[in-house]
Chains A and B, each alone.
Chain A
Amino acid sequence: MSNLTSLTLKAALEGLEAKSFSSEELTQAHVEAVAAAKPLNAFVLETPEKAAEMAKAADARRAKGEAGPLDGVPLGIKDLFCTKGVRSTACSKILGNFIPPYESTVTANLWRDGAVMLGKLNMDEFAMGSSNETSAFGPVVNPWREAGGNTKLTPGGSSGGSAAAVAADLCLGATATDTGGSIRQPAAFTGTVGIKPTYGRCSRWGVVAFASSLDQAGPVAKTVEDAAILLKSMSGHDPKDSTSLDIAVPDYPSFLGKSVKGLRIGIPKEYRVDGMPAEIEKLWEQGIAWLKEAGCEIVEVSLPHTKYALPAYYIVAPAEASSNLARYDGMRYGLRVDGANLTEVYEKTRAEGFGTEVKRRILIGTYVLSAGYYDAYYLKALKVRRRIADDFDQAFEKVDALLTPTAPSAAFALGENADDPVAMYLNDIFTVTVNLAGLPGMSIPAGVDAKGLPLGLQLIGRALDEGTLFSLGGALEKAADFKAKPAKWW
């Protein structure tokens, strides 16, 4: 039964429906794969008993003809999602052994549709990072290695556990979140598909907050179709999140295989950045050629404020984070470190509970919001954010979607960018604009570099137009015919 883990989510659903295997068998195969993959450090908590119980219930529902759209399919859940009765830490020491008495809306939607939980996935602490190295549980190791090498590579971040687990066939799909590129960059680094939908598509309720105006959930999956199936279940209006959109969720899988003939694809000239590896440039050209062959019209567009997206992001996101993370005071949940008085308890608790990068961002956020600097930094960044969004509005008058690389490099070695925060931030150069504008973006594995490491292409769509991304993503996937898998070394 070992081949059960190499199935796509779609194929697994078909196999369950055809009674080729049960969810118990499918789940057990994945539980064993998870248990055998400790060197990847992708899971921070395994829930095999819960998985077995959920699988059994799924089989019972299917036997009665009551199977939901994801019934019996084992998934991994990023540790940013609160799961009722199951430890949820955002991979921070400050949440300690926090056991939520509630379920996030996104995961509740998945369980409603019959999915099975394998456990909680590693990530950068509070989703702040691009390499998974800020996790209190230590970094995830990318299942991919350079050809002939054994250097440990990053799976990207912050959803590194999600991407690594899907790439290594530990689960059939995973939840993830994306504040500046945290779904798409790890997907690109691991040869998986990741989509960040339009801001407001997925409820943020029960997802530990980082930067509320940017945070958005989405899936990491093995194929574009699997991503469509997962996103359909995850999305939907939720009165408990005031920014959740009260707009019907389209049947995303039905967009797969739709003709993309005549669609106009914008190529933003500002994304040709200095120092971009020639292989990424080449892959981008290849992506353009594939879409042309599929009948798309290619149009050069300009997004003049692109270079200001990262600096604007590094004001807006830390500012919102410093406010959101004020809740970790050691009083109601999580870590408490004793001190001589209340202020000292706060200060010691937060000093010990937060990691270096989280503290750095809280300090930046506090600084840019502090008296005398609010207008110069925070207000300025919000105005630049508007100009970035306006750039996209103007581009989308001429085109239906944009095609860009997902990340400026392939997966790099763990520890490689650790000393320079700004160098690490530059990983998100192609993805962060999409968060600022609230648009949907998807990364599709499109090829490998000379060292055999996967590279991704990004599609950016109009607000609420995930459907077109699934059509185009499906077309790219078909043309790229990306079949490479990491050789199992763990």
Chain B
Amino acid sequence: MAIDAATVRKVARLARIAEPEDRLEPLAKELTGIINWIEQLNEVNTDGVEPMTSAVAVALPLREDVVTEGGDASVILANAPKTVDGFFVVPKVVE
């Protein structure tokens, strides 16, 4: 299947990655190459095969729903690009 520039623009938007217009065509070509190569999977008969989601079959463990760590905002904020008064500062979300 061929991926066109419009699809790349849409996917880049979904992935929140700015791709300049002049990159869309080359990316479409690259992604088409990869997807065409991937499509050989259609040769495999997978009727009745359960999808494999985990390499080792183990039940997911449960734990008590209690706080194990935390209580120090300064640690959480230490790597933030911008903070004020113990809060993350983000661009305006609601106009």
Pick from A312, A341, A350, A385: contact of B91, CB below 8 A: A341
**Which of A16-24, A148-156, A237-245 has 4 or more CB atoms under 8 Å from chain B?**
A237-245
Most chain B CB neighbours (cut-off 10 Å) among A245, A305, A311: A311
Q: Majority SS of interface residues in chain A? A: helix
Q: A interface, how many residues as a size bin?
A: 35 or more
Interface string of B38-74 (1 = CB under 8 A from A): 1111111010011111111010110100000000000
Q: B interface, how many residues as a size bin?
A: 35 or more
B60 neighbours in A (Cβ, 8 Å): 242
A99 neighbours in B (Cβ, 8 Å): 78-79
Q: Do A379 and B81 touch (CB < 8 A)?
A: no
A250 within 8 A of B: no
Q: Do B53 and A382 touch (CB < 8 A)?
A: yes
Q: Do A382 and B52 touch (CB < 8 A)?
A: yes
Residue of A nearest to B77 (CB): A332
B15 within 8 A of A: yes
B11 within 8 A of A: yes
Shortest B87–chain A CB gap in Å is 11
A312-B41, A332-B80 given as contacts; is B17 within 8 A of A354 (CB)? Answer: yes
A336-B81, A387-B44 given as contacts; is B55 within 8 A of A200 (CB)? Answer: yes
**Which of A28-36, A48-56, A360-368 has 4 or more CB atoms under 8 Å from chain B?**
A360-368
A200-B58, A311-B38, A380-B46 given as contacts; is B8 within 8 A of A334 (CB)? Answer: no
A351 within 8 A of B: yes
Residue of A nearest to B17 (CB): A350
Q: Do B79 and A384 touch (CB < 8 A)?
A: no
Pick from B33, B43, B50: contact of A422, CB below 8 A: B33
Pick from A239, A315, A338, A386: contact of B38, CB below 8 A: A315
Q: Do A363 and B18 touch (CB < 8 A)?
A: no
Pick from B3, B50, B54, B90: contact of A331, CB below 8 A: B90
Question: For the complex, what is the distance from the CA of A6 to the CA of B50, rounded to whole Å?
Answer: 50
* A residues whose Cβ falls under 8 Å from a Cβ of B: 97-99, 101, 198-200, 213-214, 239, 242-243, 245-246, 305, 307-308, 311-312, 314-315, 322, 326, 329-336, 338-339, 341-348, 350-351, 354, 359-360, 362-364, 366-367, 370, 377, 379-387, 389, 421-422, 435-438, 463
